[in-house]
Amino acid sequence: MRKGKLLGIGVGPGDHELLTIKAFNSLKEVKVICAPKSAASKPSLALSIVQPVLEDREDKYDILEPLFPMIEDKNALCSYWDDAAVLIIQKLNKGVDVAFITLGDPTVYSTFSYIESRITNQGFIVEIIPGITSFTGCAATAGISLAEKDEIMVIVPKVDERLEQILEYADTFVIMKTSRHSEVLEEIINQDKREKEILSIQNCSMDDEMVLKGFFKDKKYLSTTIVKFKEKKIE
């Protein structure tokens, strides 16, 4: 009996029109959609992005909504990922393909990687369909280039002491989830005396999208700050 295949589909930063054609076509055909939620009471943002595509389908499909809470306890997280993998494998063993949808791209800071390794280790085929990343979407929204010529760009997933250590070695920094540590980030960036452009973007490509020069002070989750240094560091 044919086993099902797991599809890791990047759904982009927020606007369903930013779905790739391949993602669109796959979502039109796959029989099971896996859309993790951060809390039982909260809808899946990834699912809301693809909802217009799913609403146009005439055939039946199932939705799996495993819980992926935003916690730091690695052992607890592994348990949630294990549970999600079990749900997916149950479908794959029946010969049904499953699409795991994730914000941005499945290969960039996505929990899909934890599911992928579990599914691959069980001998199933996994296919990744890339999506537009949040930071390229943010750059497009802000109307700026992230990197030119031989400029070095660094993607920073978390504001901590590592950023301060590498600041002088790159020209552009894309700092994700910056609203959690905006004051610390501002202090670190201002230590570098190079001329710079700072733009912060919230809820990229969504209805409540916002672009600000400087740093956001609120605590919204989907916040990204782009820092472009305009000159090489002078010793």
**Domain CATH for 91:** 3.40.1010.10
Q: Same domain for 121 and 165?
A: no
Question: Has residue 235 been placed in a domain?
Answer: no
Of 129, 159, 193, which one is at a domain's C-terminal end? 129
* Tally of domains within the chain: 2
Q: Same domain for 55 and 157?
A: no
Judge whether 175 and 109 are in contact, CB under 8 Å.
Answer: no
Of 129, 152, 174, which one is at a domain's C-terminal end? 129
- The secondary structure of residue 174, as a DSSP letter, is E
Side chain identity, residue 24:
F
At residue 77, the pLDDT reads: 95
pLDDT tens for the chain, residues 1 to 235: 789 999 999 999 999 999 999 999 999 999 999 999 999 899 999 999 999 999 999 999 999 999 999 898 999 999 999 999 999 999 999 999 999 999 999 999 999 999 999 999 999 999 999 999 999 999 999 999 999 999 999 999 989 899 999 999 999 999 998 877 778 899 999 999 999 999 999 988 888 889 999 987 766 668 899 999 986 654 4
**Domain CATH for 188:** 3.30.950.10
Question: Has residue 117 been placed in a domain?
Answer: yes
At residue 51, the pLDDT reads: 96
Which residues form the domain of 202?
A: 134-229
Question: Has residue 48 been placed in a domain?
Answer: yes
How many whole angstroms separate alpha carbon 182 and alpha carbon 219? 9
At residue 182, the pLDDT reads: 79
Q: Same domain for 91 and 17?
A: yes
3-class SS at 30?
coil
Of 129, 146, 161, which one is at a domain's C-terminal end? 129
Question: Has residue 1 been placed in a domain?
Answer: no
Q: Starting at the earlier edge strand, list the strands of the sheet with 223-229.
A: 153-156, 172-176, 223-229, 196-202, 210-213
pTM: 0.91
Q: Same domain for 124 and 23?
A: yes
Q: Same domain for 72 and 166?
A: no
Q: Same domain for 151 and 54?
A: no
At residue 166, the pLDDT reads: 95
At residue 183, the pLDDT reads: 85
Q: Same domain for 118 and 177?
A: no
At residue 219, the pLDDT reads: 63
At residue 121, the pLDDT reads: 97
How many whole angstroms separate alpha carbon 88 and alpha carbon 119? 8
